[in-house]
Structures are given as structure tokens and as C-alpha cells.
């Protein structure tokens, strides 16, 4: 069965989810609307899949080029970005041409920023190949690269023309990558859709199979949560009583600090898992959530084989990184926390002793 979700922003686009849906790419790139060239940006492991995407497009008389970039976060650098610009320039890429990002979240983040920055914005389509890429990076129009100072500090909001989630590719997904993606789905459960948590708690064994119907349902639910958040606050500018898109950053302030400290050798979902437990500790110590909801964070993440603790003795380094997080305003730290299940809020400027105590509570 194929599911089509529309992200209803100012420039609506479809997210197509199902098995064997690669034939949908032709429509998403806008074939017949002046497209002459297509550049497929992919990591080395996706070379075969890139060729599979390329062949039918070439049969449609399109000029299709493959641009191979490094794996994972190593792709999200200024040097790799510059390399992609060079290739596009040599190809004579115009504003009517299309970029396709094929791979995990790092690849689609990079491909989106290449598209956003080339000629001040060209059309692009994301074809995520991991659970994490499908439910997080591919949808929402956030594109960017990392710098030595932090993750995703340079980028642009640039919405895709469409997103293609072919569930067939998940059959070869390593177990650790599946768990990493599930962390982002769990996040969606805590901030917006508790039925996600109930599905996982009812059938944890089935969730460990990337090809199971439950995983397909969880992916669809996670994408739906993100689509709703993005539609209401594309550029993350909601204010007042509305948290808007910032809710999607639940666990990310601390999680990004962990990723940077580990040199991005830890998977994104693993870091976000730790980050969610950390902010749950902050919310609990602030009187916003009860013992049961705090314990539920640890329980469900542990059931999935995700980490819920982190190394002690490095608070100063983590704190310094959090202070250049995108959600920080001036010198004031801001955390997305819960004041109840599916009720995210911003906690601005919490007491330093409180956030340090939360760190100690998750330290091994």
C-alpha cells in the first residue's frame, strides 16, 4: 500500500511512502516542465541505488549525473559543499534543473543546502534510505552543514519538491541504524502522538524488524507529526504561547552537544535518546512532569536498545556547545521540555544548578 501525505506549507509537497515507489520520482522531479539535467547526490554505499534511479530518467532523455559525497556527517562540510558547486558549474546546471538527495539524513541535509544555495535556489527531491532520514531530515525544508563550532549552524530553509520513502530499502538497514531512526519516532510520540509509544510498548519485538507493518506505521505517524509541525511554523518563528516547530527539537540541544563531543562517531538517534532523558530530568526537577513520565522515557528507549545515560566529567564542554545551539537566544539557554505527555513547551534560562543536576542524573 502506498501512502501519500501532503505537507501543507506555502509551497505544498507530497511525501510518498510505500514499497517499490521509486517510479514516483519521475513525477516529483517535475518531468516535462523544462527539466534537462538531474544531479543525484549520494554516499558511496548508495552507488547502486543511485544507478537504479538514474536509468529510467536517462530513458526519459534526461541528462543525469551522479555526485558521490562522503558518508554520514563527513559530507556536511564546506569543502564538500564547494565540491558539489564545482560539479554543478561544470555541468551547466540551470534554475530549471533538479537535485536529488539519496541517502541518510546527512546526505539529504547536504543535498538540500546545495539546492538552496545554487543559483539562489533550485528544485530538489529527497529520497531517504534510512528510518532516520524518512522521519526527520528529509521532511521540513531544513538544510545545512556543520562547522567546527557546532552542528547545522550554517544552512537555509528550502522546501523539497517532494519526498520519496521507499520502504523496500529498509530490508538491508543495519539494526543500529533502525534503532537510531526509532529514537526520532519516539520523540514524536512524546511531543505529539502518544499512540506511537503505545505501539512500541505493545510489540517491541516487531519493532526490531525494519520490514514489519508496525515499523511502516510508525514511520508514517512520525512523518505526519513532522508535517503538521512544519506546516504551522516552517521557519521556526512561533512565539508567545505557541511552541511551533521548535517542539521537534525535543532532546536535540543536549543531543547535538553529545554528537559534537563524540566527533559525530555516535549515531544521531543515540545522541537524541540521551538528550530526551536529559530534558525529561530537567522537566521533572522543574515540577513539570511526574515520576511516571520520567520513567517512561527510560523504559521505552531502553526497550529499543537505545542509550539513556552518558559519560560523567565533561559538563563544561557540553555546556559550552549548548550555548551556541540554534535555540539559544543571547546568553540564555532554551530547552524544549514537556509539561505533560504530548505537551511540549520552552523552558528558557533554567537555573545552572538545575541543568547540571540533570546531567549528573544521567551520568554513568
The continuous run of DSSP H or E covering 68 comes out as strand 63-68
Closest to 75 (Cα-Cα) out of 106, 45, 53, 52: 106
Determine whether the annotation assigns residue 109 to a binding site. Answer: yes
Helix residue ranges, H only, 129-251: 131-132, 175-191, 195-202, 204-207, 213-232
> Parallel, antiparallel, or unpaired: how do β-strands 123-128 and 98-103 relate?
parallel
Tens-place pLDDT, residues 195-244? 999 999 999 999 999 999 999 999 999 999 999 998 878 787 765 556 88
Determine whether the annotation assigns residue 105 to a binding site. Answer: yes
Determine whether the annotation assigns residue 130 to a binding site. Answer: yes
Closest to 187 (Cα-Cα) out of 61, 256, 277: 277
Determine whether the annotation assigns residue 238 to a binding site. Answer: no
Strands (E), 262-302: none
* Residue 34 pLDDT: 82
Rounded to an integer, what is the distance from CA 139 to the centroid of its chain? 8
The whole-angstrom separation of Cα 292 and Cα 296 is 6
> Parallel, antiparallel, or unpaired: how do β-strands 37-42 and 13-18 relate?
unpaired
Q: Give me the active site residues, please.
A: 120, 142, 184, 226, 236, 245, 249, 252, 256, 268
The whole-angstrom separation of Cα 346 and Cα 350 is 10
Tens-place pLDDT, residues 10-63? 889 999 999 999 889 999 998 777 899 999 999 999 999 999 999 999 999 999
Domains of the chain: 3-172 (3.40.50.1970), 175-362 (1.20.1090.10)
Helices 352-362 and 315-322, packing angle to 10 deg: 120
Mean pLDDT of 109-126: 97
Mean pLDDT of 289-304: 98
Determine whether the annotation assigns residue 297 to a binding site. Answer: no
Q: Please report where in the chains the cell 542524573 appears, as a residue.
A: 361
Torsion of CA 163, 165, 166, 169, to 10 degrees: 120
Determine whether the annotation assigns residue 143 to a binding site. Answer: no
Tens-place pLDDT, residues 74-100? 999 999 999 999 999 999 999 999 999
Separation in Å, CA 306 to CA 187, 200, 211, 299: 13, 13, 19, 10
Burial (CB count <10 Å: 0-12, 13-18, 19+), residue 239: exposed
Determine whether the annotation assigns residue 107 to a binding site. Answer: yes
CB atoms closer than 10 angstroms to residue 163: 27
> pTM for this structure?
0.92
Amino acid at each position: 500500500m502506498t501512502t501519500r501525505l501532503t505537507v501543507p506549507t506555502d509551497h505544498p509537497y507530497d511525501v510518498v511512502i510505500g514499497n517499490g515507489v521509486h517510479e514516483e520520482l519521475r513525477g516529483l522531479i517535475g518531468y516535462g516542465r523544462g527539466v534537462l539535467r538531474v544531479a543525484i547526490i549520494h554516499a558511496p554505499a548508495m552507488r547502486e541505488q543511485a544507478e537504479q534511479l538514474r536509468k529510467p530518467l536517462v530513458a526519459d532523455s534526461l541528462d543525469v549525473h551522479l555526485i558521490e559525497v562522503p558518508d554520514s556527517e563527513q559530507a556536511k562540510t564546506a569543502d564538500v559543499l564547494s565540491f558539489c558547486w564545482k560539479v554543478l558549474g561544470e555541468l551547466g546546471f540551470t534554475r530549471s534543473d533538479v537535485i536529488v538527495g539519496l541517502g541518510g539524513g546527512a546526505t539529504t541535509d547536504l543535498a538540500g543546502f546545495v539546492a538552496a544555495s545554487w543559483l539562489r535556489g533550485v528544485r530538489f527531491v529527497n529520497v531517504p534510505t534510512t528510518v532516520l532520514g524518512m522521519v526527520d531530515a528529509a521532511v521540513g525544508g531544513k538544510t545545512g552543514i556543520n562547522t567546527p563550532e557546532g552542528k547545522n549552524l550554517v544552512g537555509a530553509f528550502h522546501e523539497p519538491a517532494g519526498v520519496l520513502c521507499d520502504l523496500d530499502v529498509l530490508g538491508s538497514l543495519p539494526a543500529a541504524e533502525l534503532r537510531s531512526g526509532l529514537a526520532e519516532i519516539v520523540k514524536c510520540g512524546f511531543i505529539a502522538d502518544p499512540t506511537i509509544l503505545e505501539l512500541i510498548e505493545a510489540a517491541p519485538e516487531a519493532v526490531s524488524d525494519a520490514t514489519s507493518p508496525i515499523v511502516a506505521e510508525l514511520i508514517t505517524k512520525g512523518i505526519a507529526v513532522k508535517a503538521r509541525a512544519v506546516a504551522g511554523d516552517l521557519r521556526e518563528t512561533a512565539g508567545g504561547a505557541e511552541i511551533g516547530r521548535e517542539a521537534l527539537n525535543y532532546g536535540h540541544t543536549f543531543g547535538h552537544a553529545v554528537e559534537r563531543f563524540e566527533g559525530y562517531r555516535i549515531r544521531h538517534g543515540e545522541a537524541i535518546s540521551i538528550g530526551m532523558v536529559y530534558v525529561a530530568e530537567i522537566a521533572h526537577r522543574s515540577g513539570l512532569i511526574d515520576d511516571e513520565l520520567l520513567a517512561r522515557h527510560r523504559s521505552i528507549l531502553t526497550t529499543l536498545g537505545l542509550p539513556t545515560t552518558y559519560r560523567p566529567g565533561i559538563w563544561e564542554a557540553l555546556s559550552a556547545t549548548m550555548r551556541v545551539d540554534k535555540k539559544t537566544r543571547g546568553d540564555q539557554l532554551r530547552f524544549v521540555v514537556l509539561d505533560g505527555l504530548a505537551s511540549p513547551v520552552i523552558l528558557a534560562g533554567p537555573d545552572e544548578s538545575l541543568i547540571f543536576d540533570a546531567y549528573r542524573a544521567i551520568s554513568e
